[in-house]
Amino acid sequence: MTDSATPTPPAKPRSALSALLRFLRLRTHSESFFNTTGLGRSFRENRPVDKDGEPLPWLNYGLIRLLDERLDQNLRVFEYGSGFSTLYFAARAESVTSVEHVPEWVQELQPYLPDNAALSSVSPGPEYIQAPIGHSPFDLILVDGLDRVECVDASIEALSPGGVIILDDTHRSEYQILLGNLREQGFKTLTFFGPKPTSIIEAQSTIIYRTDNVLGI
């Protein structure tokens, strides 16, 4: 069997040392991806931050860039799961409400929360899954915690007319089935690929939306 890939010219010969030096230059260049996104700093500090040390959500950088451009101070955000994303959204939205199933993490995060962020410790189960419905509507709901399939279903009931859902880690097979079902119901999906802060592994995150949504997609 022959290789059906498109023929390409051979690479220019390069020694292992010159390849290593080129890689190091790319890492240290002021305009490199490592530096402009803060990926290098997030590696050094082992926490999701941008190049200036400001909090980032643990989502891939393509999606973070879209959120940087489209979020505004009139949006109400809900999160399943909390952390640096809570601080990120609080700095860019009217309010952020989060539920977290690890009480110790809630206690650790509470001192850093601004006035427009509310964080609750909720045990896994129906109360956790249904949490946004009692406080709805929300313009953006991030599903990045437990029972994500069930949480997406609950989130649909809690969305504002132009609201969107972000589902993280959509490379998992069970989420592909969910996304297919949502498209059959009339939702659209937009998936972002790439590394997250503190990682070089490709990750997937998907926006679930309808036309005339708050992100303008």
Per CATH, is 55-209 categorized as 2.40.110.10? Answer: no
How distant, in Å, are the alpha carbons of 2, 100, 142, 194, 206 from that of 169? 36, 18, 12, 11, 8
**What's the N-to-C CA distance of the chain in angstroms?**
44
Strand 188-194 with 203-209, pairing? antiparallel
Average pLDDT over residues 66-94: 97
Sequence letter at residue 146? L
This prediction's pTM: 0.86
pLDDT at 11 (0 to 100): 45
Q: Identify the residue whose tokens are 């969107």.
A: 164
Average pLDDT over residues 79-94: 97
pLDDT at 161 (0 to 100): 96
Q: Identify the residue whose tokens are 């119901």.
A: 185
Q: Cα-atom radius of gyration of the chain, to the nearest Å?
A: 20
CA-CA distance, 96 to 21, in Å (whole number)?
44
Which residues 6+ apart lie within 8 Å of 141 measured at CB? 77, 78, 79, 80, 132, 155, 158, 159, 163, 164, 165, 166
Asked if the model's pLDDT at residue 109 lies above 90, the reply is: yes
Average pLDDT over residues 114-132: 97
Task: Give CATH 3.40.50.150 domain extents, the chain.
Answer: 55-209
Average pLDDT over residues 48-74: 96
- Mean pLDDT across the chain, nearest whole number? 90
Tokens representing residue 105 in the block: 């993490």
29-47 pLDDT, tens digit each: 667 777 888 888 898 899 9
Q: Choose between 185 and 1: higher pLDDT.
A: 185
**Other CB atoms within 10 A of residue 26 CB:** 13
